[in-house]
Structure 1
């Protein structure tokens, strides 16, 4: 059964989502957890305590948050499994629709990525 990672990106420091979104998400996640689709997930704290390690030209540099240049940040994640890619895409649309309905004044980007069952062999 294919597994997927879901990511939610949005502007940082835009406030707390409305209570109606929390309630809708509780129902949405509860249904998917009961059916075995939702494996794990959660929200993330802001970038004020984030740490990046950047590898460039063979050197490693540590960059501590917050990041002034960041326009949007990953605010949440999920680990999911569906029978088909089409089901995963349709359900991600439902997730996005909930945000549009309950928090229309913000821009939210919901990303779905299939998890590789690799490792694939490197090409020569």
Structure 2
């Protein structure tokens, strides 16, 4: 059964979501978990404590947050499982529509990516 990662990207430091969205999300996630679609997920703290390790031309550099230049940050994630890609897309759209309905002033991007079950093939193989 295909697995997916869902991500929520939004502007950091904006207002907290309204209670109605939290309540709607609790119901939605409970329903999705009951159907075996929502496996795990949660919100993420802000970038003030983020640590990135950047690799460029064979050198590794540590870069600590916060990141003033960041316009959008990943604010939440979910590990999902659906029978088909189409079902996963429909589920992610329903998730996004909950935000539009219960938090209309929110500007966010709900991203869905399928998880590869095969290791990548090395470029020099």
Using the size of structure 1 for normalisation, the TM-score is 0.97
Residue-pair matches, total: 124
Structure 1 residue ranges (4+ consecutive) displaced by more than 3 angstroms after TM superposition: none
* 1-structure distance, mates of 2:23, 2:83: 27
Q: Deviations over 1:3-31 (max 9, x none)?
A: 00000000000021000000000000000
1:24-75 deviation digits (Å, cap 9, x = unpaired): 0000000011111100000000000000000011111110000000000000
Unaligned ranges ≥5, structure 1: none
| TM-score in terms of structure 2 length | 0.96
Unaligned runs of 5+ in 2: none
Output one character per residue of 1:77-124: Cα deviation in whole Å (capped at 9) or x when no partner.
Answer: 000000000000011110010000111112110000000001132354
Structure 2: how far apart are the matches of 1:81 and 1:27?
A: 18
Q: Which position in structure 2 is the counterpart of 1:46? A: 46
CA RMSD between the two structures: 0.9
